[in-house]
């Protein structure tokens, strides 16, 4: 995900800066509708980052998991992510990091 990470980081830092502005608006007791509009912009930036991360995972990690026979794990993770469920996704002592996220090579996956 390294190539995509720069874009995701940019979106998240943008959302962070925007959120800091929203906090100032609340502290200044700005009009509620203005605050809600700005919060919607923060939500949008976070949603775009979420989409990029998901797309990267679907294009890289899921095919890798399928090739390694870990399709049930991949499906469980995706269902959990879609439903916002947190918790254990691997067996005891089992941690899987797909090469798509950990490769530091020059291969462009964008």
| Helical (H) or strand (E) element with 46 | helix 32-56
Give pLDDT, residue 107: 42
With a cut of 90, say whether residue 103 has pLDDT above it.
no
Rounded CA separation 108/110 (Å):
6
Look up the domain containing 14 and give its range: 2-102
Asked if residue 109 belongs to a domain, the reply is no
Q: How many Cβ atoms are within 10 Å of 98's Cβ, its own excluded?
A: 19
Task: Give 92 or 21, the one with higher predicted confidence.
Answer: 21
Q: pLDDT tens digits for 40-92?
A: 999 999 999 999 998 988 888 888 988 999 989 888 888 888 887 755 444 44
CA angle 105, 47, 88 (to 5 degrees): 70
Q: Within a domain: residue 108?
A: no
The encoded tokens of residue 51 equal: 């989409």
Percentage of residues of the chain with pLDDT beyond 90: 44
Q: What is the CATH number of the domain that holds 19?
A: 1.20.58.1000
Query: How far is 47 from 14, CA to CA, in rounded Å?
Result: 12
Residue 33 in this model has a pLDDT that exceeds 60: yes
Higher pLDDT, 66 or 37: 37
Number of domains in the chain: 1
Domain membership flag for residue 107: no
pLDDT the model gives residue 3: 58
More confident residue, 66 or 1: 66
């Amino acid at each position: 995900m390294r190539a995509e990470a720069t874009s995701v980081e940019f979106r998240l830092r943008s959302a962070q800066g925007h959120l800091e502005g929203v906090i100032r608006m609340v502290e200044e007791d700005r009009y509620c509708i203005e605050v809600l509009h700005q919060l919607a912009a923060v939500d949008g930036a976070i949603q775009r980052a979420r989409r990029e991360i998901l797309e990267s995972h679907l294009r890289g990690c899921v095919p890798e998991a399928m090739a390694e026979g870990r399709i049930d794990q991949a499906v469980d993770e995706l269902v959990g992510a879609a439903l916002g469920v947190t918790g254990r996704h691997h067996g005891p002592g089992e941690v899987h990091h797909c090469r798509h996220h950990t490769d530091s090579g020059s291969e462009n996956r964008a």
